[in-house]
Structure 1
């Protein structure tokens, strides 16, 4: 039974029913060491198995095949096998050995990166996430791996498809940090700055006993995206932010906080000078492109401020006030802002005048009503979910035990520090 041929026979004969698959699982566990010792001879065996019918056995063979380091040539041979397996494997079988499925998928990600073809891994890893998930609310260890490949392959829209789902169940805290960080970067790539801020905010404010590199890098991008999207940044973090983050994040991101301070003055020349002085730092952080977007956004903010003061203004006056090089450049900025819905205005090409308008949205169209209704339905769903989670937590033995200990401590403290009473 320890021979490879015997294992193949068992896989082929015990993959038809739930009872047989349970027996096969026991046999495969016993043969695990011998499979790994024969890892160099296993790849031909894969041709004798069907990944859809023999998913559990196929998984054990693949895991053993990829357990040792592989060369570029070996990766080129294994990648098609793994991609086909992920696409066709039966979820109920691979969930019997989720740790092995995760290991194979992570090695698959490493192999497509070794080959320099991250695009080849995007669709298979998206399928792997779906097959490993218990529900769409479950954040698996493969979520960050998938989003990383989307980033490397610049498949931002594919990554967005998974970021729209609300997450309530997390396997490992590190998975949440990476999921939100990579997700924030994907949203930045798609100019979805509001969603990017939400995800980066989750990283910065997540519970942590000590500061970590992911949170530091997320905070740097959080500052930059706040300036681009909101035109301002506050160093104050919410009360629920961990004390480790409250104490240390600012110290690790001082150049970015100083950038925000320079931005708040509204003086484009000073901002550009600061960026030029610290260009090497921003480039080493791979944030120089985002910093340049911050500089560009200041022109927009200064133009938006003009709409609060003037009803009409010439393109020359806009160029002078905002410190643009020419009326033509001012016209291009204004046109782009009108197209993006950032201001409401009309341009008279004949006399070079810009007329600023009020927001024409009356919030009574069918489309707007549908959007509002959709938002209300989502909020109601989230409220029900939070109520359910609160009820489950209130019945959790570990939570009750800890709450009981805390209650005793506070009761004792209150007894020793009874507040003085006054007659009024």
Structure 2
């Protein structure tokens, strides 16, 4: 390998035009590998002679060699990596995506090792945008970023990538982790419909064999579904046969919890959760299981609204197994505030009157919400049509479908009288 001084000189001199960067890339490939890693400790001082923004490709090669060498590079190295991820040129680092991902992973591992995940959030958020070819592409950095958001309990930070519509996925594992971590972030934000949607995607994604991520997602999906809807939907038809056959066997306690919940008896459910607390705790799901338990009060009160127009707080407390009418009042008030029921409480006689949904769907806010939903669905429809068109023209897809489907020749129709042609 040529000297480090000469290599750095090449990086400084060949980081301008695309042609120069392409030539530099070939030189860096020749110098890459064990030869660069063996000089890891000596590479760090040379980084000070390079600009993370102007010399991104060369900087990346040296940085990746340092990061993956296993050498103890010190606390300052994390600052160097963070500055690079924030400032680097997207066009240059996309020429060596594997190296960029290696740097991101080492950086994530180091901030976790130091128990300071919050330090990695802003740099990895920048890294997601740098490595993405478009906002619709899912990258391996997405899962690394969401994991740090979870560990740092910075759930809102995760929304910056979760609110994108994803249509392009390279590796199945990236999708499973994205849905699983994303579902957990929405759980942390108490946004259970969005959590259910992402966990559902992990459970129903195509899979030839069961994987641990999907199983853990299914456990949380059951809990979230009970909290949100009071029941767990059956597997849709497009769910893989592997998941439909085996998923429930790996989440038996959760399936039994769902059955117990469906019986509608709070004391039975409470006993079940308490007796299986160790299992829920080992799965890091005990907090969710307790939320399932408390949601039964809400679910039973909602059932009462379907039967009665008015009911006393005392009757509500008795029906849903609450200790006092005061407890019933607090639950009803909270549900009214959250928009889960429509009712008024007469403080004088302790009676609750249940009402129909007052929404007339003609307010400015509702019209804007409907308009936004229509625009999003229209865009999704166009995207699906485009994907369908591309697949229809894909030689590999046509070869596969041609092999799987029965081919017909004119001879197949010999028995049809010619007068019908």
TM-score norm. by structure 1 comes to 0.94
For 1:322 and 1:280, the matched residues in 2 are separated by 27
2:122 matched to 1:123? yes
Alignment-derived partner of residue 335 in structure 1: 333
Residue 155 in 1 paired to residue 154 in 2? yes
**Is contact 1:118–1:153 with CA below 8 Å preserved after alignment?**
yes
Q: 2-side partners of 1:266 and 1:246: how far apart?
A: 26
**Deviation of 1:352 (Å):** 2.3
Report the equivalent of 1:25. Answer: 25
SS of equivalent residue, structure 1 residue 148: helix
Partner of 1:421: none
* Matched residue, 2:40: 39
Is 2:94–2:131's contact at 8 Å kept on the other side of the alignment?
yes
**Conservation of the 8 A alpha-carbon contact between 1:14 and 1:21:** yes
Alpha-carbon contact 1:76-1:115 (below 8 Å) kept = no
In the TM superposition, 1:130-141 aligns within 5 A as 130-141=129-140
Quote the residue 1:78 is aligned against. 77
C-alpha offsets along residues 208-258 of structure 1, whole Å, 9 cap, x if unaligned?
110000110011011111100011114x31111111111100100110000
Q: CA deviation at 1:353?
A: 2.2
Q: Give TM-score, length-normalised by structure 2.
A: 0.95
Corresponding position: 1:231 with 2:215: no
Most deviating of 281-290 and 11-20 = 11-20
Q: CA deviation at 1:70?
A: 4.9
Judge conservation of contact 1:150–1:158 (CA < 8 Å) in 2.
Answer: yes
Specify the alignment match of 1:56 in structure 2: 57
CA distance in 1, matches of 2:276, 2:39: 54
CA positional deviation for 1:75: 4.9
Q: Distance in 1 between matches of 2:130 and 2:96?
A: 12
Structure 1 residue 171: Cα displacement: 1.5
Q: Aligned partners of 1:106, 1:189: CA distance in 2, in Å?
A: 24
Q: Tell me, in whole angstroms, the C-alpha distance in 1 between the residues paired with 2:15 and 2:297.
A: 65
User: Which has the larger displacement, 6-15 or 284-293?
Assistant: 6-15
Deviation digits for residues 140-186 of structure 1 (CA, Å, limit 9, x no counterpart): 11111111111111111111121111111112111011101111111
| Cα separation, 2, equivalents of 1:176 and 1:363 | 36
Q: How many Å apart are 1:12 and its aligned residue?
A: 1.1
SS across alignment from 1:408:
coil
Which structure 1 residue ranges, 5 or more long, are not aligned? 419-424
Quote the offset at 1:408 in angstroms: 3.0
Deviations 1:116-162 (A, max 9, x none): 10001111111100011111111111111111111111111111121
Q: For residues 315 and 93 of structure 2, what CA distance do their matches in structure 1 show?
A: 66
User: Which 4+ runs in 1 deviate beyond 6 A?
Assistant: none
Structure 2 residue aligned with 1:369: 367
Counterparts in 2 of 1:400-419, with a 5 A limit?
Answer: 400-408=398-406
* 1:422 alignment partner in structure 2: none
Q: What is residue 290 of structure 2 aligned with on the other side?
A: 292
Distance apart, 1:351 and its partner CA: 2.7
Structure 2 CA distance for aligned equivalents of residues 326 and 311 of structure 1: 21
1:219 — aligned with what? 218
Partner of 1:166: 165
1:101 equivalent in alignment to 2:100: yes
Q: Please report the RMSD computed on the Cα atoms of aligned residues, expressed in angstroms.
A: 1.5
Contact conserved, 1:75 with 1:112, CA < 8 A, in 2? no
Distance 2:310 2:406 in 1: 68
2:65 aligns to what SS in structure 1?
helix
Q: 2:387 aligns with which of 365, 386, 389?
A: 389
> Are the structure 2 counterparts of residues 70 and 232 from structure 1 closer, same or farther at C-alpha, using a change threshold of 3 Å?
farther
Deviations 1:48-77 (A, max 9, x none): 111011111110111011112355xx3522
Q: Which residue of 1 aligns with 2:256?
A: 258
Cα distance in 2 for partners of 1:331, 1:68 equals 63
- 1:318 deviation in Å? 1.4
Work out the CA distance in 1 between the residues paired with 2:108 and 2:139.
Answer: 15
CA distance in 1, matches of 2:161, 2:115: 24
1:259, CA displacement in angstroms?
A: 0.2
Cα pair 1:55 1:94 within 8 Å, conserved = yes
* Counterpart position of 1:271: 269
2:209 aligned partner: 210
Cα offset for 1:312? 2.0
The count of residues paired between Structure 1 and Structure 2 equals 410
CA positional deviation for 1:14: 1.2
Does the 8 Å CA contact 1:345/1:357 hold for their aligned counterparts? yes
Shift of 1:394: 0.7
Query: Deviations along 1:317-369, whole A, 9 cap, x unmatched?
Result: 21111111122211111111111110111222233222222211000111111
